[in-house]
Amino acid sequence: MEEVCKELDEVKAEMEKLKAEYQIKTDISESLKKAHNEQLIKFQEAKLQIEKQAQELNVKSEEISEARQISEDLKASLHEKELFLRHLNSANEKLRADWGEKVQKLEEENRELVSTLEESTVRNKDLEQKICASNEEIEGLKRLLSVSEKKCLEAEQKAQASKELRQRDEVIAKLEEEDRSILEQLKWKKEQFEHLEEAHKRLRDRFQSSKEEWEREKSALLEGISSLQTSLDSQTRITEGLQIQLKMCNQALAHEESKRKLLEVQLSEYNSRFENVFALCQEAQSKIESLTVQRDEEISKLRNLLGTRETLFKEMEFRLVHLEQENQELQGSLKEIQEAQINNARAASSLTKLQDKLRGLEQVHGNCSKNLKAKESEWSFQMEKMKEVMQVSISELKGKEKNIQELQKELEGFRFSLEVLNEEMAMVLVVLKSEFSEAYLKLLVDLEMERDEVALLLKRVESLNLMEQQQFLMEKELERHKKMLEESSRCQHHLREQLFQMENSLKEDRRDVSKALEKANSDLADKIRDKNRIEFESQKWKSTAENLKISLEESRANHKQMENSLLAQVKIQQTLKQEKESLLRNVEEQEKRIGDLQQQIVSLEIAAKMQAVEGFKQEKENYLRLAKEKDSSIENLQKKMAWLELESMRREFEAAILAQFDAEKTFEQEKERLLEVIKVKDQCIEDLRVLATSLEQDFTSATLSSFSEVMERQIEIIVLSEALNNAKHLTKVEIQGKNKIIAEMEKEVNVLHQKLEFQQESLFHSKRQVEQLEALLEANKSEIEKMTDQFGNECKSLNGLIKKLEFEKSVLLVDILKLSSEREAILGHIEGSCDQICEFSCEDAKLMGILEKILQTTEEKNVLAMDLIVSDVLNDSTRENATMPLFPATMKVSASIDERSPLMEINH
């Protein structure tokens, strides 16, 4: 019993110990849960901070991309300035050549002037020598005079003698003659001297005038130099204006292409209207022909009626003659009867009967004569009316012929205007084709450049896809090591240190970027200073050009200064080129350094992975040792905790994987969208090419068809005019033939009259014929009235046709004006299409910029991820020696964080 009690006591003591241990373990587990929850909260806060930092990094990457764009713009501006400097150099060389030519011309002119001056000086010297010789001759003559005077004195002294008087007289006479001759010579030489003085004065005047002209030419040359400088400035302005005008010309070309399309539409409408007018003209001509046929038929009918009426008239005359003969016979019979009455009174009854018959015959004769007179008056009146109607119709026909001739002239004018329009259209077509071909070639070149850029972008996208595949493989490798992330809660301090290091690195990056921007600004300032210096030098050149006005020697000196300044400018350009080349070399060196750093990062990543694998192996061995030492109850609790933590980590990992997949999907969608946009733009460009070719083909075919249709219409009009002329000629020939037929018919009527004179018919038959004639006259009256009505209607219809033709003429003029306006509209439409093409190209450039930004952001993200890995590896390597023997779990945490940093980057 005592042993049982002891055992029970021991069991109770053990139970109490176990309970105490259980309580301790439960307290420990609760504290661990609390610590785990706190670490989860801190981990979420760290995630938020990392997200914020990632956003800041994105902003900074955008700023860096903007700085790169600014640097590219600066390079483009440098390139433009270099082109401008080259243009200035070429202009300066041209000016130098022009100045050299002008200086050579001036030197030649100066040489000519010097030669003329030398010639004039030589002439002056000759004249002076001649004057000196003449003076010497005069002095000699004076000496001779003095000698002669002495001789005269001696002669006078000798003449005192009487013997020598005669000799003296002779000598005096001789001396007087010599004196006269000498005086004449002196006068002649004085006149020569005066002429020489006048020539000398003229030469001096010419010399002064040549000097003045030379000074004027010198001033004119200096003014020309200044004007050339101003023209240089104006030419620079003109070049700018020409560029603007080129843009305006391109716009005008587009506008004229739109107008061309409108002109094509208007030409088609004009052709349709012309066809309608031509159909109406044909209808009018057919109506005119039918009217002429009806007129001829009516004239023939009227002539037939006239012939029948003349025959009837002659028959009536014959009958009247016959009745008169019968009357005379009856009168003779009456006389015989009266004689018989005298002889025989018995025949009274027969006489009364005969008298009644005679009275009836007389009444019938009187009625017939009255009827004949009335009918003759009616026939004459109707004949006059018919003549008047014929004259009116002939005058109307002449007026209509004049209108037709005027319309034909207007048609010829329209044909000429159409030919002029066709020539203008041909010229416009040639110009448009040339300019359109140039624009088409430019578009082809731009499209080839864009295709090359798209190919480069596709290569970059493929490289990005390879990078993504590598990242995916890395993620798979990371998934293998994700099972060791149970103690991730202890990494908060390490994360804070990493964040601090990230902030420091970002600050350093900012400083580097600011330094780079300051360098770029300093380069810009230097370039602006160079530009100002060049402008100052150009001003100096202007001042030197103005100083050329002083003298030609100063102009030559200034010219030398200009050459020196140009050499200095060339040196400056060479220095600029060298600076540019040095900048490009620096950029290439920086790119090489970036490549070396990337290689170092890759090598550091590989080393970090190897170290992480070794750390994982060591940590596994430590965990196995610790697991063997623990109790089964603690193992169960640890299993439960591990299960809970694995579930939480699995959820987090699934969320991270889902986020990664979403990011990849969005990236692929954006990539596909951009590729679709590029394909759509390529299709649009190809459609525009097809449209351009189709427009050219349509325009050429339309012009050819319109030209052929116009030529056909012109040929048809010519044929119709010839047909009208032929119809007129035929109508004239038919009228002449009908007149001949009428003359023959009149001859036949005369023959019939002669035949009818020999016929004898009864009065009863004549009465019937008279009644028939009256009926025919009434029918003719009705027919004539119908003819007059028809003729009036036809005149009205012809007047309506004339009005229609005039209206169509005005419509054609309006159409021509519309065609000119629509041509301008076509050109405007072409300008709009060119603007659309420019917009498409701008959108393509924007899309290319977006793709480059995406690629830059991805590259920057990869670089940042590599920097994080490198910084983590360096921190781990510094802390391994201090923490490895005391805290093996920290190595595990650091390794897990090192392996998780790319995931964190992908999540954000």
| Contact predicate 622/888, CB 8 Å | yes
**Residue 859's pLDDT band (boundaries 50, 70, 90)?**
low
Q: Tell me what pLDDT residue 756 has.
A: 58
DSSP labels, 831-897: HHHHHHHHHHHHHHHHHHHHHHHHHHHHHHHHHHHHHHHHHHHHHHHHHHHHHTTT-HHHHHHHHHH
Kindly state the tokens that stand for 406: 């005027």
Q: Is 485 helix (H, G, I), strand (E, B) or coil?
A: coil
Q: Are 742 and 304 in contact (CB under 8 A)?
A: no
Highest mean pLDDT among 244-248, 596-600, 868-872, 875-879: 244-248
Q: Quick count: other Cβ atoms within 10 Å of Cβ 36?
A: 18
Tokens representing 286 are 């057919």
Going by C-beta distance under 8 Å and a sequence separation of 6 or more, which residues neighbour residue 794?
Answer: 287, 291
End-to-end distance of the chain based on CA atoms, in angstroms?
73
- Long-range CB contact pairs, 117-121, < 8 A, 24+: 117/207, 117/210, 120/203, 120/206, 120/207
pLDDT tier, 854 (very low <50, low <70, confident <90, very high otherwise): confident
Mean pLDDT is highest, among 220-229, 596-605, 657-666, for 220-229
Summarize pLDDT for 707-749 with one digit per residue, the tens: 555 555 556 556 655 655 665 666 566 666 656 766 666 666 5
Lowest mean pLDDT across 75-79, 459-463, 571-575: 571-575
Which of these, 217, 888, 100, 52, lies nearest to 563 by C-alpha position? 100
Tokens representing residue 579 in the block: 């600076």
Selected residue with higher pLDDT from 289 and 908: 289
pLDDT at 295 over 60: yes
CA atoms of 156 and 152, how far apart (whole Å): 6
The number of CA neighbours under 13 Å toward the Cβ of 15 is 6
**pLDDT exceeds 80 at position 24:** yes
* Highest mean pLDDT of the ranges 145-154, 683-692, 873-882: 145-154
Q: Is the pLDDT of residue 892 over 60?
A: no
- Are 229 and 110 in contact by the 8 Å Cβ rule? The answer is no
The total number of residues written for the chain in this structure:
908
Confidence band of 906 (pLDDT split at 50, 70, 90): very low
Which pLDDT does position 364 carry in this prediction? 66
pLDDT computed for residue 68 by the predictor:
74
104-117 pLDDT, tens digit per residue, is 777 777 677 777 77
* pLDDT exceeds cutoff 80 at 41: yes
The residue-averaged pLDDT of 438-450 equals 71
Residue bearing the bigger pLDDT, 287 or 787:
287
> Which pLDDT tens digit goes with each residue over 377-424?
777 777 777 777 777 777 777 777 777 777 777 767 777 766 777 777
Highest mean pLDDT among 122-131, 158-167, 784-793: 122-131
What is the C-alpha to C-alpha distance for residues 583 and 67, in angstroms, rounded to an integer? 16
CA 170 to chain centre: 112
Residue whose C-alpha is closest to residue 285's, from 798, 730, 670, 767: 798
What's the mean per-residue pLDDT of the chain? 67
The confidence band for 507, taking pLDDT boundaries of 50, 70 and 90, is low
Report for 158-172, 315-329, 571-585, 673-687: range of highest mean pLDDT: 315-329
Fill in the amino acid letter for 87: H
Give yes or no for residue 547 having a pLDDT over 70.
no
Q: What is the pLDDT of residue 675?
A: 64
* Angle of the 632-757 helix axis to the 348-480 helix axis, nearest 10: 160
Q: State the average pLDDT over residues 538-557.
A: 60
More confident residue, 34 or 350: 34
Tally Cβ neighbours within 10 Å of residue 57. 19
Angstrom distance (rounded) from CA 899 to CA 481:
8
pTM: 0.21
